[in-house]
Structure 1
Amino acid sequence: MDLKPILDHYDDFKAAQLQNRFFKHADVIRLLQELPAAFEMVHLGNSVKNNSINLVKWGKGKTKIMLWSQMHGDEATGTMALFDLFNFLQGDNEYVKLLTENCQLFFIPMVNPDGAAVFTRRNAQQIDINRDFLKECSPEAKILKQCRAQIQPDFGFNLHDQLTLWSVTKTLKPATLSFLAPAIDEELSIDQTRKNAMLVIAEMFKHLDPIIPKHIGLFDDEFEPRAFGDNFQKAGTATILIEAGGLAADFEKQEIRSYYFASILAGLHAIATKSFEQQDLNNYFSIPKNNKQIFHILIHQLMLDGIEVSIGINYEECPVADGYSTTKTYSIQDIGDLSFCDAYQIYTSAQLKVKGEIILYQNAHFELFDNDQLILSFQNGKLL
């Protein structure tokens, strides 16, 4: 499939109501209620704080595909991409016709509405829903688990966001997207279900890599016995994990969401046409791995205690009380030879001078000058 013409017209179907990561349950419900009759909405149950969790059904085909987003309340890119997909599916084109005739899609576009309300990872019980498959302490985990058991989908798309500090091996670029076919056991065995997920991912990578070259990685592959992706895979649903990472100057992930949407569409197309069956498993394993070789800020050529060093600075993002924004606290994360690393922002000059102290693992609290011109200023971890 050719994704470029679709992305060239992305604004035609982008859900413009979702302009940043901080939308809430009420926004989702409002958009769901506006969907036409081709989309059937089913109330699955309620969260800890009594917010509804809903299933959306679309399509008339044989192959069942389940897609769920925002198990973690502060991971909103997948939800944005799903609403963009809802709009796209209302169009008149070959892809929509192919999907409706060959697939039945089941969407849960916000599994953790309470976490989204305050923009935190966990639910109102402080439970990580994605580590609650076995004990089912949270109502959200019970709902998601029961939904899959009732539908028995052939494929599943597990939609998440990852830290913006993940990079792609041998590229020094942010991992804007990461894919994974979750493991079914500690030995990382490959049964037919997991193999199908791997082949779909290989097909997705084939179509996405030319669009965002060197920005796609393979997520860390280890078995997590409490996680939904691993257990859904084990239960026979070929499960595809998609993680949204970082991209320069795209803090609200409005460009990333388009690539996220494209990866979902490429995966659905691969399943509907069964083109994944022609893929080579080696193409999955050839996707470069994720690593951490980038910083939010890098400063090179800085004289510190009589030696020239590089300084790596990262921020920690925390939600404010109303859940509609975050604060960033910057700290010094490395000092020394960082020539093998990259960053979203880089400062380098032979005339760099610093006023204040730079202390490893402490909040950034200094001013950086280039030939007496102030170019960077931190106060108690805050970028001024």
Structure 2
Amino acid sequence: MNLEQLFLENKEQSIAGRYLTLDKIKPLLDRLNANNELTVVGRSVMNEPIYKYQIGSGKIKIFLWSQMHGNESTTTKGLFDFFNVLKSGSDLATQLLTDFTFCALPMLNPDGARLYTRENANKVDLNRDSQDLTQPESKVLRAVFEDFKPDYCYNLHDQRTIFGVDNSGKPATMSFLAPSYNEERDVNDSRLKAITLIAGINNVLQCYIPGQVGRFDDSFNINCIGDTFQYLGVPTLLFEAGHFPGDYEREETRKYVFMSLVSSFKILSENDIVSSGIDNYLNIPQNKQSFYDFIYKNIKINYDSNEKKTNFAAQYKEELIDGKIQFNAYIIEIGELENRFGHHVYDLGGVALNDAEGESLELNKKADFCLKNNTKFVNGLIKK
């Protein structure tokens, strides 16, 4: 199967970028709702509808949800790209709809999506509310889970640009986890199904993004929804869509979300389970906080009346301004920056800041500065 071509044929062109709200996906849901597959299953804190989209008649029941964290939209885009496959009328669509029943909540946290926050409108992280169920969105997710009785759960998220693949210097463009179901992190039959499926997905992705797939930490936390569903005996897969070089809008990464979804369902449909799946899974390198958006090397500064060379790093903050996401770079660390990589790296060659500009290195200051050789940086990037 040519997954690149399949993606291009089915990419939902009407949605793009990082800021994805209910207003933007509602027309798509209405368009997909040809046979009453769409229902409102609850309301958010701010009374926004939470939609369930269910399609297919197969015996393998797949439960998927995205934007549990409102500012994590990449997997939602990939989900709609996949919905287009199911509506395409192709042989693949027929096969998938015959083998599977898909139940999706494509935007669990519409309030957080509108506010561009991780939490819901009550400032609660829904992924820490799986036991207390204090929030209406958490209750909706649990009610649909109990009613649908899935065979597999897909917990779809984004992760920040700080994550890389172990110490390789490559970004973690996609990361996965088969969550633990107990403190000991044992592997039972349910967790093994998730493990072997992730191993199969990784085999496919290595053909497209070699070395850019990570494995998330499996420490057990029953308050997390993936751990809860795994504890309840349902194989659960955590997807974490991360950074691809130069792709801050996550338009390239959405392709790998799409590929991961399609390849996982092909594996299940064809019962093409990876042999030695647990070994292959454990060989996926660990996700690690190893990146900054910007690293600046060898800048000369005055320290205790002496000149010395140092390094510093800046990180983007994603700020919602006038309905658009602005990527604003701020200085966050000054020092050796050992074992850290940068998505943008500048060697300043020992040049000092331009004193005439009144410049100084300060944490949490916007990354706008000028060097004595008149090289100017604006919002982290060198000004041409």
Question: For residues 177-326 of structure 1, what are the structure 2 equivalents within 5 Å?
Answer: 177-276=174-273, 278-305=275-302, 306-320=307-321, 322-326=322-326
Instruction: State whether residues 296 and 345 of structure 1, in contact with CA within 8 Å, keep that contact through their aligned partners in structure 2.
Output: yes
SS class of match (1:259): helix
Q: Distance in 1 between the 2:373 and 2:381 partners?
A: 22
SS class of match (2:250): coil
How many Å apart are 1:109 and its aligned residue?
0.4
Q: Distance in 1 between the 2:348 and 2:192 partners?
A: 50
1:3-46 alpha-carbon deviations (Å, 9 max, x no partner): xx231353321111102221221222211110153571122111
Q: Distance in 1 between the 2:367 and 2:227 partners?
A: 43
Q: Distance in 1 between the 2:340 and 2:63 partners?
A: 38
Instruction: State whether residues 193 and 233 of structure 1, in contact with CA within 8 Å, keep that contact through their aligned partners in structure 2.
Output: yes
Amino acid at match of 1:345: H
SS class of match (1:174): coil
Q: Which of 346, 356, 361 is the matching residue for 1:358?
A: 361
Q: Distance in 1 between the 2:46 and 2:122 partners?
A: 10
How many Å apart are 1:64 and its aligned residue?
0.5
Of residues 183-192 and 276-285 in structure 1, the stretch that sits farther from structure 2 once superposed is: 276-285
Of residues 77-86 and 350-359 in structure 1, the stretch that sits farther from structure 2 once superposed is: 350-359
Instruction: State whether residues 203 and 279 of structure 1, in contact with CA within 8 Å, keep that contact through their aligned partners in structure 2.
Output: no
Instruction: State whether residues 195 and 277 of structure 2, in contact with CA within 8 Å, keep that contact through their aligned partners in structure 1.
Output: no
Q: Distance in 2 between the 1:156 and 1:197 partners?
A: 9
Question: For residues 24-35 of structure 1, what are the structure 2 equivalents within 5 Å?
Answer: 24-35=21-32
How many Å apart are 1:226 and its aligned residue?
0.9
For these two proteins, the number of residue pairs brought into alignment is 375
Amino acid at match of 1:367: F
How many Å apart are 1:373 and its aligned residue?
3.7
Where do 4+ consecutive residues of structure 1 move more than 4 Å?
381-384
Q: Distance in 2 between the 1:279 and 1:97 partners?
A: 31
Of residues 302-311 and 191-200 in structure 1, the stretch that sits farther from structure 2 once superposed is: 302-311
Q: Distance in 1 between the 2:181 and 2:323 partners?
A: 35
How many Å apart are 1:266 and its aligned residue?
1.3
Instruction: State whether residues 376 and 382 of structure 2, in contact with CA within 8 Å, keep that contact through their aligned partners in structure 1.
Output: no
Instruction: State whether residues 165 and 212 of structure 2, in contact with CA within 8 Å, keep that contact through their aligned partners in structure 1.
Output: yes
Amino acid at match of 1:311: F
Instruction: State whether residues 199 and 277 of structure 1, in contact with CA within 8 Å, keep that contact through their aligned partners in structure 2.
Output: yes
SS class of match (1:97): helix
Question: For residues 125-144 of structure 1, what are the structure 2 equivalents within 5 Å?
Answer: 125-144=122-141
2:159 — aligned with what? 162
Q: Distance in 2 between the 1:186 and 1:12 partners?
A: 44
How many Å apart are 1:349 and its aligned residue?
4.6
Of residues 244-253 and 147-156 in structure 1, the stretch that sits farther from structure 2 once superposed is: 244-253
Q: Which runs of 5+ in 2 are unaligned?
A: none
How many Å apart are 1:125 and its aligned residue?
1.3
Note if 1:343 corresponds to 2:338: no
SS class of match (2:353): strand
How many Å apart are 1:209 and its aligned residue?
1.4
1:83 — aligned with what? 80
1:333 — aligned with what? 333
Q: Distance in 2 between the 1:167 and 1:12 partners?
A: 30
Calculate the aligned-residue CA RMSD, in Å.
2.2
Query: TM-score when scaled to structure 2?
Result: 0.91
Q: Which runs of 5+ in 1 are unaligned?
A: none
Note if 1:19 corresponds to 2:16: yes
SS class of match (1:12): helix
Instruction: State whether residues 316 and 327 of structure 2, in contact with CA within 8 Å, keep that contact through their aligned partners in structure 1.
Output: no
User: Quick one: percent identity of the two aligned structures?
Assistant: 31
How many Å apart are 1:326 and its aligned residue?
3.5
Amino acid at match of 1:241: L
SS class of match (1:140): helix
From the superposition, tell whether residues 365 and 9 of structure 1 become closer, same or farther in structure 2 (CA, over 3 Å).
closer
How many Å apart are 1:98 and its aligned residue?
2.6
How many Å apart are 1:342 and its aligned residue?
2.0
1:79-115 alpha-carbon deviations (Å, 9 max, x no partner): 1111111111222444323312211111110000111
SS class of match (1:325): strand
SS class of match (1:258): helix
How many Å apart are 1:280 and its aligned residue?
2.2
From the superposition, tell whether residues 34 and 377 of structure 1 become closer, same or farther in structure 2 (CA, over 3 Å).
closer
Q: Distance in 2 between the 1:302 and 1:224 partners?
A: 43
1:117-137 alpha-carbon deviations (Å, 9 max, x no partner): 111111111111111111111
Amino acid at match of 1:107: A
Instruction: State whether residues 332 and 358 of structure 1, in contact with CA within 8 Å, keep that contact through their aligned partners in structure 2.
Output: no
Amino acid at match of 1:317: E
Instruction: State whether residues 56 and 98 of structure 2, in contact with CA within 8 Å, keep that contact through their aligned partners in structure 1.
Output: yes
Instruction: State whether residues 310 and 334 of structure 2, in contact with CA within 8 Å, keep that contact through their aligned partners in structure 1.
Output: no
Q: Distance in 2 between the 1:81 and 1:342 partners?
A: 28
SS class of match (2:310): strand
Query: TM-score when scaled to structure 1?
Result: 0.91
Q: Distance in 2 between the 1:69 and 1:244 partners?
A: 11
